[in-house]
Amino acid sequence: MKKSVFYHAGCPVCVSAEHDILELVGRDNVEIVHFGQNKSRIPEAEKAGVKSVPALLTPNGNVLHINFGASMADVKG
């Protein structure tokens, strides 16, 4: 399977989402791109349809924009 690409910008929300995505999809199936560390990848992401981060570009070319919601533990914590 072609890899997915997870685009993020290093915010805490992105890091949480990254952790979950890696666990769900499998680390070997996802390339992680940090825009803060690698601005040269931004045009490619925009071309693919990324409008916000974190976002997951799937192998078939769809973009899932992810908003990480607080868990109940976070709400309570």
Q: Which of 29, 32, 35, 41 binds a copy of itself (CB under 8 A)?
A: 29
Least distance from C-beta 12 to a copy of itself, angstroms? 13
Nearer to a copy of itself, 37 or 72 (CB): 72
Buried b (16+ CB within 10 A) or exposed e, 10-27: eeebbebbbeebeeeeee
The C-alpha atoms of residue 40 and residue 72 are separated, in whole angstroms, by 37
Least distance from C-beta 37 to a copy of itself, angstroms? 23
- Number of Cβ within 10 Å of residue 63's Cβ equals 17
Least distance from C-beta 7 to a copy of itself, angstroms? 11
